Amino acid sequence: MSSERPGVDRPRVDDVDEIVAAWRRERPDLDVTPLEVLSRVSRLARRLDLARGSAFSEHLLDGWAFDVLSALRRAGAPYELSPGQLVQQTLVTSGTMTNRVDRLERSGFVERRPDPGDRRGVLVRLTRAGRDVVDSAMADLIEQEKSLLSELSPAEQAQLAMLLRTMLAPLETREA
């Protein structure tokens, strides 16, 4: 009986390994090494999208609705932001945000109120119903995401987070 642990002592083979091997065979002149990382990231992103969709649909939310509600929830009490702040946090246009806030307001998840600091301004505030639904959806999302990460130890998860941060931070800085 072997003392090897699958995935620890001997790496598992996945579809990306087969894709990379095929490209190396067909195009030995190309360095396809980036595929080993980014094709896996792409495949994980698709699985994450499915897991998020599943977590949100249990609460009758779309991903965009969760994004807006969670931005308000993260803001802390009294759970309100200006439409401009919501645009910044969710990376959509102001017209798109207006439409989203309208829909969430009709659902009873948010309310608009005058901005006491700006007579022409409006604040979007999370309602109790909005807070309840985003809290429940967030708890389900965390369970889905824990499941996706379950093959990695806590130390491996921390290392992966650090490596992804190292890669992502400069890209976000350039885009800002």
Beta carbons of 126 and 86 less than 8 angstroms apart: no
* Domain boundaries 16-170, corresponding CATH code: 1.10.10.10
Q: How confident is the model at residue 4 (pLDDT cuts 50, 70, 90)?
A: very low
Q: How confident is the model at residue 175 (pLDDT cuts 50, 70, 90)?
A: confident
**One-letter identity of residue 51:** A
Tokens, residue 104: 């969430």
Structure confidence at residue 10 (pLDDT): 58
Structure confidence at residue 66 (pLDDT): 96
What is d(CA 105, CA 75) in angstroms, rounded to the nearest whole number? 18
Q: How confident is the model at residue 1 (pLDDT cuts 50, 70, 90)?
A: very low
The residues near 100 (Cβ < 8 Å, ≥ 6 apart) are 64, 65, 68, 92
Structure confidence at residue 160 (pLDDT): 96
The predicted-structure confidence for 18-77, as pLDDT tens digits, reads as follows: 999 999 999 999 999 999 999 999 999 999 999 999 999 999 999 999 999 999 999 999
Across 85-107, average pLDDT = 94
Structure confidence at residue 130 (pLDDT): 98
**One-letter identity of residue 86:** L
